[in-house]
Amino acid sequence: MKVESVKKVKSIFQIHFMSEESAKAIPDFTGKKNEVAVRYDGKTTIIYCGVGPVDKCIASAVRSVAAKATRLAGDKKYKEVSLILSTLPQSRKELEVAALQGALAGAYNFGKFKSEKPVVVDSIELVGTTLDAAEIKRIQTISVCVNEARDLVNDNAHEIYPEILAQKARAIGRETAITVKVLSEKEIARLGMGLLSAVGQGSPNPPRLIIMEYKGDRSSKKRTAIIGKGITFDSGGQNLKPTGSIETMRCDMAGAAAVLGIMDALGTLKPKINVVGVVAAAHNAIDGTAYFPGDIYKSFLGKTVQIDSTDAEGRLVLADAIAYTIKQFKPTAVIDLATLTGGILIALGDFVAGLFSNDDSLANALYTTGEQVGERLWRFPIYEEYSEAMKGDLSDLRNVSKLKKSHAAAICGAAFLQEFVGTTSWAHIDIAGTAYNEGEARGEVPKFGTGFGVRLITGYLMGVAK
Ligand code: BES
Ligand code: ZN
Ligand code: ZN
């Protein structure tokens, strides 16, 4: 993808932004949010993008409609588009950033399995931009990393197994200033990560714990850990998922894909911060060696867990990854990203991710970033009653709550994870709804893998452009 700032328009596919006020000059076009109109001027195609009333024009509207217009360009087989940023109704940097983010996201098209490859927009001209080269590079890099995360989710589960995620991490390590260490199934077992071992034991492709260290500020002791759920396929195990739930479960490594994308972005952009990225990778398979419902396993932290359902596996692999990361790296904050529960879809649908935290200021900062970048979060409580419901019978903990079936399922998953956090500042983001879009593309959110979390967490760690 080429992004360049130009003085004069060269491309014959132009994207103009129009407020409701200025749209009065265009026949049959109202300028309402997300409305697009195609007009022709000789050989030039002009796409008018509605952004609502001038004084109410917000970044999310610009991002969304710019993505829609760019997707249209690809559908119409154009490879080059011009973003006429001077047509934005207000001259705010935030709106220019959103327009570019939208266009980059809208250019994405996963064509790997199509015999006839889709035409993909591979060049974006910025006309009349006030963004400097560094800002453009930052937005572009992050968007490439979002698209890498989408690719990993969209690819076949058969090809993306734990060792492949490890190889992706090693490749990022080779290209950037990130050190990568991968623990094998033997090391995972030797270190006492009984939960990650158990979840991964039924697959011919064994589990991995992937550790990526980025040290951008050696003078600081501050270090954030980001941890991703990397279940490369979630069959449910012995508690096999039924038809209707199982087909999309290659998306169960979306948290891991986001962590890889975030680390790649950091390694490339080199901000002055310290971050450790960890991926708990396993294939939750069903075969004769798979772990059993009813059995009790010992975690890395020492707490024992009774397996009520082999399908509540994400919390198991994350529990070991969280406890190990805290012991090994003593991070100042831990943020995990996980397609953890169907319950979060029941609560929020697929527009908003669930946020759970033991630290109000971390939760508020993540919430605010989400609003700014358009990856929205909504916070849930973890009251004592939920933690109480996760206590075991013969064991310390259970992996499914004692509450009535499906009650507060997303919160109970978070309450389980909290048992492995101790006093470290922590936030859990349940992306089971937002990571994968089974509906049609909407705005910057494509069909299938969305890359949710990459812009959110890089925005949180690096500060979002104001
Ligand atoms: N991977 C699923 C959660 C999920 C559901 C992700 C839908 C994406 C879309 C997770 O491992 C799971 O199966 N959770 C169970 C937990 C239950 C057994 C307590 C669920 O949500 O039903
Ligand atoms: Zn599951
Ligand atoms: Zn799962």
DSSP states along 266-304: HHHH--S-EEEEEEEEEEE--STTS--TT-EEE-TTS-E
Residue nearest to atom 17 of ligand 1 (CA): 312
In angstroms, the CA 238 to CA 295 distance is 12
Residues of the chain predicted below pLDDT 50:
465-466
- CB of 419 within 6 A of ligand 1: the answer is no
- CB of 234 within 6 A of ligand 1: the answer is yes
Q: What is the pLDDT of residues 117-173, one digit of tens each?
A: 999 999 999 999 999 999 999 999 999 999 999 999 999 999 999 999 999 999 999
Taking the CA of 309 as reference, the closest ligand is 1
Q: Rounded to the nearest whole angstrom, what is the distance from the C-alpha of residue 451 to the centroid of ligand 2? A: 20
- CB of 422 within 6 A of ligand 1: the answer is no
The pTM score is 0.98
Q: Rounded to the nearest whole angstrom, what is the distance from the C-alpha of residue 234 to the centroid of ligand 1? A: 9
Mutational pocket test of ligand 1: of 195, 247, 311, the residue with most ligand atoms within 8 Å of the beta carbon: 311
- CB of 311 within 6 A of ligand 1: the answer is yes
Q: Rounded to the nearest whole angstrom, what is the distance from the C-alpha of residue 365 to the centroid of ligand 1? A: 27
pLDDT confidence of residue 177: 87
Q: What is the pLDDT of residues 393-404, one digit of tens each?
A: 999 999 999 999
Phi/psi zone of residue 140: left (φ > 0), alpha (ψ -120 to 50 degrees), beta?
alpha
In angstroms, the CA 349 to CA 342 distance is 10
C-beta separation of 351 from 376 below 8 A? yes
Q: Which residues lie near ion ligand 3 (Cβ < 5 Å)?
A: 231, 234, 252, 314
pLDDT confidence of residue 91: 83
Q: Rounded to the nearest whole angstrom, what is the distance from the C-alpha of residue 275 to the centroid of ligand 1? A: 28
In angstroms, the CA 233 to CA 231 distance is 5
